[in-house]
Chain A
Amino acid sequence: MNAPLMIFFVLAAVAVFGAVSLILQREPIHSALSLIVVMVALAGLYLLMGAEFVAAVQIIVYGGAIMVLFVFVIMLLNAGEEERTNFSKLATYAGIPLALAVTGFIAAAIARSGGYLPAAAPNGALTSTKTLSMLLFKEFVYPFELTSFLILVAILGAIVLAQREN
């Protein structure tokens, strides 16, 4: 049991705990906070693996922008405790079994074949920002430009949606 493994288990436990908390909380704001916990834990895991740029982006964009947006909307809509309606019998009865099925599938697949993968450890060089940016602007320049286009569309959409009706 070495240090990385222990850190992994801790962070993993935190992430799972955060996810479970998201499900079990009644107020949406509490769910949002749980999600932030999950994201931070994941950022830690990224760091453990040596992908520091991704970890940084995760915290900044996901935790600092997207989740803030969520919190703002919750505040705006004054989202309180959700009412306990249960119109879908299908969802009630089939929900957990299906989720277990999906997880089980993937987990089983991984367990069967994952042994062939080398360990995800920061052996060798860390992935530097330079390497990532070279990739981003050379091989992946086309998707990169497309995502900028996507953001433009999102901005326009948000503006249109936010317009008052005159």
Chain B
Amino acid sequence: MPTHEHLRPILEYLWIIPLLPLLGSAVNGLLGAKWPNKIVTSVALGSTGLSFACALEAVREFFLYYEANHQAFVKQFFDWIVAGNFRGGFDLQLDQLSVVMMLVVAGVGFLIHIYATGYMAHEGGYYRFFSYLNLFMFFMLILVLAANFALLFVGWEGVGLCSYLLIGFYFLRKSAADAGKKAFIVNRIGDFGFMLGMFLLFRAFGSLDFQTVFAKAATWQPDAMGQFGTLTIACLLLFMGATGKSAQLPLYVWLADAMEGPTPVSALIHAATMVTAGVYVVARSHVLFTLAPTAMYVVAVVGCATAIFAATIGLVQPDIKKVLAYSTVSQLGYMFLACGVGAFGAGIFHLMTHSFFKALLFLAAGSVIHAIGGQQDMWHMGGLAPKIKVTFWCMLFGTIAIAGFAPFAGFFSKDAILFAAYQSENSGKALYGVGLLAAVLTSFYMFRLVWLTFFGEKRYDERHVHVHESPGSMTVPLMILALLSLVGGWFAAPALWGGPNYFADFLAPVFGNAEAAGGEAAHSLELTLSIVAVLAAAVGLIVAWRMYSGRVTRGTSTGLHKILYNKYYVDELYQATIVGPLVWLSRNVFWKVVDVGMIDGSVNGIAQGTEAVGDTVRHTQSGNVRSYAVWVIIGAIVILAIIFWPLWRPAFFVATSGGVR
């Protein structure tokens, strides 16, 4: 079959897509300190924009390739690790799933880069910010393009690093530095599970390449429900890594603190891309997960529980970014719920739409914060709608999308998830119910945010704060994202709505037609559930309207409100049970006993021992010739003893006559 490489220049050099942001990062990082903002901007935007253009071209070429060959495009570029039977190569892969992820990462990333040029224009360390941001793009693209678990893990770790760097961007602030550390360390706990999962997969399949592993796994017998076979354990370990990276229970605690970073960082890393890496991994490994029903069930339950848990916390948060952070955790829970019930396509669909409206929401929040001069507490906002119209309308679009009102994007994706959950065999109805409740809460807290921020009386001091709309560099990406939040769901709408169902069909080569629901009965069920979902969103909207429009006062925090406000005291719990004992152990055992006592002690002890020996042996050098003579004789005796050893072996004392030979 002719391969026509000359027709596919980008695919042959697929590494150019991640490399461009890396170059931008290196140039800005090494040389940008002295440059004016304009040059840094052009380097950063240029590299990211070119990368996005190349990504588009790669998609076009991939379609041609797929028409000809009907398989994923995998290219091995060079051998990175070769050890015994194991080969971890720098191999990049492009299939429909990677196409979606790549376009989301590169496209939304590019828009956020543009926004950041406006948002960070007056901040110190401008070049450093864009260097880190470009570095993040590099690692994230490596993650989604990787063709084996090892390279994926490189990207996985790299985005964790960039997250740490960017959260702690204002490193002179202790809270920011602590938040960066917390994010990295909690991620690390998840990465531990991920690595164990990778080791187990290698041991079971002999390779970490996706093609090899999934092809071999497809021939295995599926584990029964409740059976913890190799596949189940490997999937659970991979999911542990996903919970760390995607902020699910119990490793979600870092995401709220991550809001210490600048808002574009929150939008890009903690909404649209990095936190979706966990979902991507689960979706990529769907072959393994479908053979391990226990793991799938765990994924679904954890996702559902996280969705409701985070939603409850978001109900009462005063900080605008924290509300959005918990909302992200909650929406990620939805994506895992989708994967857990087998609707991987729906999960990825929600991932895509979520990246649109969550990025939009974060960027709009950033615009609000920028407009009001740095204030993030909603109780000090209010009545902003007439002053910052563009921001307001964009925020409203995003809110409607996330609440799930038709025909915005969130409606289709959330609907697909709830429908799949309802149909699932393992406690599907319960999952559906909880998911529906979480949808109500989502709608409620998002509209609460809108009302507190944009309506009602002004709770800020007009004399000190001069509210102004953001510059074009910030509002244009907002409008683009708002448009995507509106239309993003249309081309993927399920057949029910007369939509072309492009998305499921598009991903069918990857996921198989697992979600093909048949028959009219399913259609009417889907319609019913959709209407219920919209009603749920409306309930949330109405309650928020009743509570927060008009005059609002901030009450005191008591009882249930207090528990939710303090995030169920989970951070304090972790501090007391895990962090505190570890710190105590490190200080009193590892530092005092092991490091000072044993390690320093043994090294110092050797020195002291030598000193003591020297001190003792010193006495032989008495200057007295007769003593020296005695030492010589002792030496002579030793030599005699050695020479005459056969003579005075213990046998010597037993046999007497005749001598010893």
Given the known interface contacts A98-B633, A106-B640, A115-B659, the answer about A88 and B647 at a Cβ–Cβ threshold of 8 Å is no
Q: Is the beta-carbon distance between B637 and A116 smaller than 8 angstroms?
A: no
Q: Is the beta-carbon distance between A91 and B636 smaller than 8 angstroms?
A: no
The residues of B that contact A112 with a CB separation of less than 8 Å are 647, 652, 659-660
Given the known interface contacts A109-B644, A112-B660, the answer about A91 and B637 at a Cβ–Cβ threshold of 8 Å is no
* Closest A residue, CB atoms, query B626: A91
The residues of A that contact B629 with a CB separation of less than 8 Å are 91
**B532 within 8 A of partner (CB):** no
**B630 within 8 A of partner (CB):** yes
* Closest B residue, CB atoms, query A101: B637
- Residues of chain B from 620 to 645 with CB closer than 8 A to chain A in the complex: 622, 624, 626-627, 629-630, 633-634, 636-637, 640-641, 644
**A161 within 8 A of partner (CB):** no
Q: Is the beta-carbon distance between A95 and B660 smaller than 8 angstroms?
A: no
* Closest B residue, CB atoms, query A91: B626
**A90 within 8 A of partner (CB):** yes
| Max chain B C-beta neighbours (<10 A), residue from A91, A101, A102, A115 | A91
How large, as a class, is the contact surface on chain A? 10 to 19
The residues of B that contact A115 with a CB separation of less than 8 Å are 658-659
- Residues of chain A from 61 to 105 with CB closer than 8 A to chain B in the complex: 87-88, 90-91, 94-95, 98-99, 101-102, 105
Q: Is the beta-carbon distance between B640 and A105 smaller than 8 angstroms?
A: yes
The residues of A that contact B637 with a CB separation of less than 8 Å are 98, 101-102, 105
The residues of A that contact B652 with a CB separation of less than 8 Å are 112
The residues of B that contact A102 with a CB separation of less than 8 Å are 633, 636-637, 640
Q: Is the beta-carbon distance between A91 and B640 smaller than 8 angstroms?
A: no
Q: In whole angstroms, what is the CA distance A91 to B636 when docked? A: 15
The residues of B that contact A166 with a CB separation of less than 8 Å are none
- Residues of chain B from 433 to 473 with CB closer than 8 A to chain A in the complex: none
- Residues of chain A from 111 to 145 with CB closer than 8 A to chain B in the complex: 112-113, 115-116
Q: Is the beta-carbon distance between B660 and A113 smaller than 8 angstroms?
A: yes
Q: In whole angstroms, what is the CA distance A107 to B341 when docked? A: 96
Given the known interface contacts A91-B624, A113-B660, the answer about A105 and B630 at a Cβ–Cβ threshold of 8 Å is no
Q: Is the beta-carbon distance between A109 and B647 smaller than 8 angstroms?
A: yes
Q: Of B636, B648, B659, which contacts A116 at CB under 8 A?
A: B659
Q: In whole angstroms, what is the CA distance A106 to B641 when docked? A: 10
The residues of B that contact A109 with a CB separation of less than 8 Å are 644, 647
* Closest A residue, CB atoms, query B633: A98
**A154 within 8 A of partner (CB):** no
The residues of B that contact A94 with a CB separation of less than 8 Å are 630, 634
**A108 within 8 A of partner (CB):** yes
Q: Of A91, A105, A108, which contacts B627 at CB under 8 A?
A: A91
The residues of A that contact B633 with a CB separation of less than 8 Å are 98-99, 102
Q: In whole angstroms, what is the CA distance A113 to B646 when docked? A: 12
* Closest B residue, CB atoms, query A86: B626
Q: In whole angstroms, what is the CA distance A50 to B622 when docked? A: 47
14 contacts between A and B (CB under 8 A): A90-B626, A90-B627, A95-B626, A98-B630, A102-B637, A105-B637, A105-B640, A105-B641, A105-B644, A106-B640, A112-B647, A112-B659, A112-B660, A113-B659
Interface residue ranges, B against A (CB under 8 Å): 622, 624, 626-627, 629-630, 633-634, 636-637, 640-641, 644, 647-648, 652, 658-661
Q: Given A91-B630, A102-B633, A109-B647, list of 5 further CB < 8 A pairs?
A: A88-B627, A91-B629, A98-B630, A98-B637, A102-B637
